Structure 1
Amino acid sequence: MSERETAQAISDRAAAWVARMDREGHDPAVRAELKAWLAGNDRRRGAYFRAKAAWNMLDRASVLGAGGPQSYEVAAAGGPWFSRRRLLWGGGAAAAAAALVVSVTGLDFFAVPDQQIQTAVGEIRRVPLSDGSLAAVNTQTSLDVTMKPKVRQIALKSGEAWFQVAKDRSRPFVVEVGDLRVRAIGTAFGVRQTAGGVDVQVTEGVVEMWRVGDESHIQRVAAGSRVFVAPDKAIVPVVAANEEIDKALAWRTGQLVFDGDTVAEAVAEFNRYNVRKIVVTGATLGGQKMIGRFRTNEPDAFARAAATLLNAQVKIGSDRIVLSQN
């Protein structure tokens, strides 16, 4: 660390690290980078702990609050209210306020989650959680479960899961996907992370959704509705979609349902669940529409059905299945 690095600069950098860890803390490379920065000087570690304490208090307030302005503020003892932005980016004043709010002695910000769940290609698991909730975890999914006294946190790092949440009004159940938060108290909902964004499907009760840093704009989503959130874009209006949700969540029983989906879309779904991939050749075959219900682990049955319905050819090999135009 340079001798010219001021306390203000250290405090500002610590605040930036706290915000980054909230977004990217699941990434081992980011965690390693933070550890290297902290090792540079004891003052850095102290500043980080103080900024993290302030963030934790604000996170707790935002989770437990009802959405009003004070839900996202915290008071120093005998002092004024500070917003999250002001606490994190206000430098030394923020650190002093955080120190008055909570003691940070003994906190471990690199603690391993209570439960880490990962599924392989084609694997679908039903996992009971320690609070009595149930997680149905789809193929190629990774998530971390952390049960705290005041909040239940699920970090969905990749893939898809459906949660049947045990009712506990004192401990909200919050799923984190990047900077998106989905909160429930007692309900059932599915969350899928894709390259294009996050798809949330509510099957029971109500959930609330917001982006970190934009907690004043909370979207409520009721049972029978779904929301798709693209990266760095506002939460789109809720769409009522009971039948679509039933179809999208058929994977929970090991099935895939197609009703007007294109062959290309159906093939992409099958390829999520199987090591042996389906390949479509021909300019127009991929755009043909499909209707049917299939087992996730039977791509050959799907390929034969598609070939029969669409007057196509199918070649089933040990490493791949080829659908081609006649």
Structure 2
Amino acid sequence: MSERETAQAISDRAAAWVARMDREGHDPAVRAELKAWLAGDDRRRGAYFRAKAAWSMLDRATVLGAGQIQSHEVAAVGGAWFSRRRLLWGGGAAAAAAAALVVGFAGMDFLGAPDQRIRTAIGEIRRVPLSDGSFAAVNTQTSLDVTMKPEVRQVELTTGEAWFQVAKDRTRPFVVEVGDLRVRAVGTAFAVKRTAGGIDVQVTEGVVEVWRVGDEANLQRVAAGARAFIAPEEAITPVVAAGEEIDKALAWRTGQLVFDGDTVAEAVAEFNRYNTRKIEVAGAALGGQKMIGRFRTNEPDAFARAVATLMDARAEITADRIILSQD
């Protein structure tokens, strides 16, 4: 059995982490490494909290400590010491500041809260301007967090799908994080969709770079009119041209669903993503028939009637469900 880490060692390591995050906190890989370290021992989060509070107190002193002596002093954190070129307060001012910082940090995530949290319900499609001048079209049942930093613009996509029109800023890449996958752009337009089967990246303008954390050597460049699909635990598939497919797949941005050779079962699955009143298909034969059409996402009854007419089928429409069947 390995020896239990001492409190002093945890405090020393926490102080080192705070200093490293001050320098490299924009790097997703560094933040992931910190999260893993914090998860390794319950005591580490408390130590990191104390270290961050002391570090931030030094930041505050730079602004409010006019007249104090400049120095290369150190701040004590749970017995650990680390240096920084900052002004230090003395006596009661430092104690009061520390108390205020404890209150302020108590309700905050250690790694910082995102600037924007965007969540959509079933059937909801949102068009959201971002603070950097970019724009996001957010599809049904999607969850994403946006964090703007001086070095990078970060979007964490947890579920669902979004299309981004990225404002040009060569000094700050725009990076979408989906698990261990990264999609990076400077000024372009692209969509990222997360499903149980994998992650679909579709580019409508410019070029994006796609890679897995830890496998940067296998970075793929995806240009406008092309897409890349990445299955879990598998390599990024070769980029394929798919201009017309992308236009069809992104019709949801205007509240529409476009089908061109899709099966009835596939079309039904799409409609059910947007509506609480679900469509059911009775019989594999009907579900396997192919169709062409354009429909509003919130009009499953119109879709069902069209299928019934085109496929010589029957649509039973009630308040809580729609059943498609053939005699």
* Structure 2 CA distance for partners of 1:3 and 1:233, relative to 1, 3 Å: closer
2:38 matches 1:38: no
**Alpha-carbon distance in 1 for matches of 2:320, 2:37:** 38
Q: Answer whether contact 1:23 1:179 (CA < 8 A) is retained.
A: no
**Alpha-carbon distance in 1 for matches of 2:34, 2:267:** 32
Q: Which has the larger radius of gyration?
A: 2
Percent identity, aligned pairs only, is 71
- Displacement of 1:21 after TM fit? 6.2
**Alpha-carbon distance in 1 for matches of 2:244, 2:118:** 29
Matches within 5 A, 1:1-326: 4-5=4-5, 7=9, 22=32, 36-39=42-45, 42=47, 109-326=110-327
How many residues align structurally?
267
**Alpha-carbon distance in 1 for matches of 2:244, 2:322:** 30
**Alpha-carbon distance in 2 for matches of 1:31, 1:283:** 50
Q: Amino acid of the residue matched to residue 38 of structure 1?
A: R
**Alpha-carbon distance in 1 for matches of 2:37, 2:277:** 35
**Alpha-carbon distance in 2 for matches of 1:129, 1:113:** 12
**Alpha-carbon distance in 2 for matches of 1:205, 1:39:** 42
**Alpha-carbon distance in 2 for matches of 1:31, 1:141:** 29
**Alpha-carbon distance in 1 for matches of 2:122, 2:267:** 17
- Displacement of 1:285 after TM fit? 1.1
* Structure 2 CA distance for partners of 1:100 and 1:182, relative to 1, 3 Å: farther
Q: Answer whether contact 2:38 2:44 (CA < 8 A) is retained.
A: no
SS of residue paired to 2:269 = helix
* Structure 2 CA distance for partners of 1:319 and 1:35, relative to 1, 3 Å: farther
* Structure 2 CA distance for partners of 1:43 and 1:254, relative to 1, 3 Å: closer
- Displacement of 1:176 after TM fit? 0.4
TM-score with structure 1 setting the length = 0.73
| Greater relative contact order, per chain length (Cα 8 Å cut-off, separation 6+) | 1
- Displacement of 1:35 after TM fit? 8.3
- Displacement of 1:38 after TM fit? 1.8
**Alpha-carbon distance in 1 for matches of 2:170, 2:135:** 17
* Structure 2 CA distance for partners of 1:261 and 1:46, relative to 1, 3 Å: same
Deviations 1:40-90 (A, max 9, x none): 7x489869xxxxxxxxxxxxxxxxxxxxxxxxxxxxxxxxxxxxxxxxxxx
Stretches of structure 2 lacking an aligned partner (at least 5 in a row): 18-27, 53-81, 87-100
* Structure 2 CA distance for partners of 1:21 and 1:310, relative to 1, 3 Å: farther
Deviations 1:158-209 (A, max 9, x none): 0000000000000000000000000000000011000000001000000001
Q: Answer whether contact 1:226 1:240 (CA < 8 A) is retained.
A: yes
SS of residue paired to 1:284 = helix
TM-score with structure 2 setting the length = 0.73
- Displacement of 1:109 after TM fit? 3.3
Deviations 1:79-102 (A, max 9, x none): xxxxxxxxxxxxxxxxxxxx8999
- Displacement of 1:290 after TM fit? 1.2
Q: Amino acid of the residue matched to residue 274 of structure 1?
A: N
Stretches of structure 1 lacking an aligned partner (at least 5 in a row): 48-98
**Alpha-carbon distance in 2 for matches of 1:101, 1:233:** 44
RMSD of aligned residue pairs (Cα, Å): 3.6
